Structure 1
């Protein structure tokens, strides 16, 4: 078949690919179908044809799957946040496990690694303790559209976070529109509003609103008034923070903190750790599922009352602090000074006197330990995976155990393939920190051969 863009095809979807799209075959050609679920027959429009595969969008369901459910969110299908909300939750867990196993085999050359069933999130709605919302134009505030990420969809509710978040989003949109100031435009560097980040604590109920703007001189007074108005209108908000970001990349991460009203941080409890979370510091966004994640990491790291655990990419220190009771010393490293500031404060709150945190390059720190390797190295890198220099340094240092926490099965497979030169990958456990999305967290346990 000579398939072309805009062709309309009847396709039977067999499985889900990494990233969330349905997979169908037609005359030997693989077609990735956005918006289709396994077991469905759909009418789809082809969007691109490439060598060996095509991409399409489901336009109409001909035969539904019994695993389909009614989405809870009124913005589903347009909003880019939840591509799997139409799929029954047990089926989501099944396919996440399948995708981890398939990716390890295909990209990592590891077809025989035991992959456990996906550990479910205790909550499948209202589970997020942090949400990032984008501004655009004059003036939209919400989440990016699924099929047109350059556009921001004004949302009035999001079932992934508690209802208070939607109320604050609506209020911030209204108040920012009243200023007459436009959203920041990365193409010109002009405009003010960039992101709204909302966080809450399941430990003490505290809530934080964080506004990130461009470096406009017009922002200061307007943001200060916004903060005071929000704290008055929403007494449950315990803090308001304003940060400035000059870099044009659309990341919800401030570079310079400008205003703090109320309390400028949250306190959260995850496993045995009490965390002091600063506005820009990394912490897991699903508190309940993070408890399960930390329990798995602690189990796989084992214990050595006389030994040292090294936590790379430590963020606010959650993993390191949960490892503290099992080791004589735990060292946490992160390149972000603000995360290290959070981690040090968290160690004091947790009374973990054997934890040391420092802002340092992970590869350099590992090389410094080459003559006296730690008992275990734990790493939880960003989606891009561990830097090649870090993997090389782990191989040179040769700790007895490595526990790798990943939010991207593709980069996990790449890094495990390299580590498998000296290590046996003994188990991989997917953990669902992100229900209704195609994102997958996984914990891999490795043991040094010989």
Structure 2
């Protein structure tokens, strides 16, 4: 073999997808995770990260297209890190996420559901009503960039359109560049948070220094032109305040099936996909089946996305949440919807829950758990085998931590996993939301 001969890139056949949407192949005894690869495709790849047992690689040449492959709608796909699965047919994305959930339950949780729920999915484009865009003046390009970060990079993608944002926001990507370029704080404005409500759209500009009168005039003109409300955030999320116009309606989203309107601030957590959130809440209520007179716990309750629909049934609900700001907003939401007589809230670090602490709260007929990606291991470990709730509905944004906690609930606490299914809250990304119903027979 001639050592001076140029090396050719290796070729492998993709067998499956991993939980992040990468194609999984085998080559010379190693597992290769190939960005942009789909099952059944033979791909020439180039590795950018090598470990003893696996490599991360980029697809260079696809020799045969999978039946799942489609042309990405966005011209920035592959560079922008906002989406990772636009090259995969929409229905196949949902099916792949369902398989990931089933695999995690079996492999990590050592459990299987008695039945799998039909996947929840909705519109494929323009669904993202919340977003955080980075902004930066790039001297080499002599322009401001506004958008999501590039894949595997700290650089901001040179975005001119975004099809997962509402069109009204996608259309503002270039005008936002022009606005920031004209500001005196062009080098001290690193982020824009957007929140699209039912009656108003808010743009929160993270400002590192004070604005001047000329900046204020530019912000006002932009708000009038694009019919948005401008907020400024000088420090942490709690410091955000409205700049102009001051008479704009409050941000809200609604759950019409339950007659609920939810007020929120633009920097507070809400689900990004309002249409899917409505279906998700309806399914959670169907599984939980709250009844008048029952006492139900809503753990990691946030601003009351599930608490208030539970209360609408006539059940009494205790909502527990670690964020003081969200608990305050939950209290306001309960009063706004005239459900404060059926709801109570506590600020609590549920990641440090103990069995003694949970026992002091009293007995619950049922429980809804909606944790962040870290899951609810301490809470699940604290549930009493003898006195725990007869039914638990668990809404998850991480199949791995759901499976880990399902192992505790089923194999330690004696619950049965009745059913589970995915919620495609984030189309064209590998993010998997899911819901599961546990029952104490």
Residue 267 of structure 1 is matched in structure 2 by: 252
Q: Is the alpha carbon distance of 1:220 and 1:369 closer, same or farther for their aligned partners in structure 2, counting shifts above 3 Å? A: farther
Is 1:209 matched with 2:203? yes
After the TM superposition, which of the residue ranges 364-373 and 135-144 deviates more from structure 2? 364-373
Measured after TM superposition, the shift of residue 366 of structure 1 is: 7.8
Is 1:156 matched with 2:150? no
Q: Is the alpha carbon distance of 1:260 and 1:307 closer, same or farther for their aligned partners in structure 2, counting shifts above 3 Å? A: farther
The CA distance in 1 between the partners of 2:264 and 2:355, in whole Å, is 26
The CA distance in 2 between the partners of 1:356 and 1:220, in whole Å, is 44
Q: Is the alpha carbon distance of 1:117 and 1:223 closer, same or farther for their aligned partners in structure 2, counting shifts above 3 Å? A: farther
Larger strand fraction of residues:
1
Is 1:357 matched with 2:345? yes
User: Unaligned 5+ residue runs, structure 2?
Assistant: 1-6, 139-143
CA RMSD of superposed structures (Å): 2.4
The CA distance in 2 between the partners of 1:194 and 1:276, in whole Å, is 27
For residue 133 of structure 1, give the secondary structure of its aligned residue in structure 2. Answer: strand
Is 1:293 matched with 2:280? yes
Q: Is the alpha carbon distance of 1:407 and 1:220 closer, same or farther for their aligned partners in structure 2, counting shifts above 3 Å? A: farther
Q: How does 1:55-70 map to 2 (within 5 A)?
A: 55-70=56-71
Residue 220 of structure 2 is matched in structure 1 by: 228
Corresponding residue pairs, total = 420
Q: How does 1:85-96 map to 2 (within 5 A)?
A: 85-96=86-97
Is 1:392 matched with 2:397? no
Residue 193 of structure 1 is matched in structure 2 by: 189
For residue 391 of structure 1, give the secondary structure of its aligned residue in structure 2. Answer: helix
Residue 187 of structure 1 is matched in structure 2 by: none
Is 1:347 matched with 2:334? yes
Measured after TM superposition, the shift of residue 407 of structure 1 is: 0.8
Is 1:370 matched with 2:359? yes
Structure 2 length normalisation: TM-score?
0.88
Q: How does 1:62-211 map to 2 (within 5 A)?
A: 62-111=63-112, 114-121=115-122, 123-138=123-138, 139-148=144-153, 150-183=154-187, 192-201=188-197, 204-211=198-205
Residue 4 of structure 2 is matched in structure 1 by: none
Q: How does 1:28-39 map to 2 (within 5 A)?
A: 28-39=29-40
Residue 443 of structure 1 is matched in structure 2 by: 435
The CA distance in 2 between the partners of 1:57 and 1:398, in whole Å, is 48
Measured after TM superposition, the shift of residue 225 of structure 1 is: 4.2
After the TM superposition, which of the residue ranges 342-351 and 54-63 deviates more from structure 2? 342-351
The answer to whether the 8 Å contact 2:124/2:427 transfers is yes
Q: Is the alpha carbon distance of 1:366 and 1:131 closer, same or farther for their aligned partners in structure 2, counting shifts above 3 Å? A: farther
User: Unaligned 5+ residue runs, structure 1?
Assistant: 1-5, 184-191, 247-253
The CA distance in 2 between the partners of 1:437 and 1:322, in whole Å, is 29
Q: 1:283 aligns with which of 238, 251, 270?
A: 270
The CA distance in 2 between the partners of 1:53 and 1:335, in whole Å, is 38
Deviations 1:394-448 (A, max 9, x none): 3476222221111111121122222221022221111111111111110011123
Structure 1 length normalisation: TM-score?
0.86
Q: Is the alpha carbon distance of 1:424 and 1:78 closer, same or farther for their aligned partners in structure 2, counting shifts above 3 Å? A: same
Structure (1 or 2) with the larger CA radius of gyration = 2
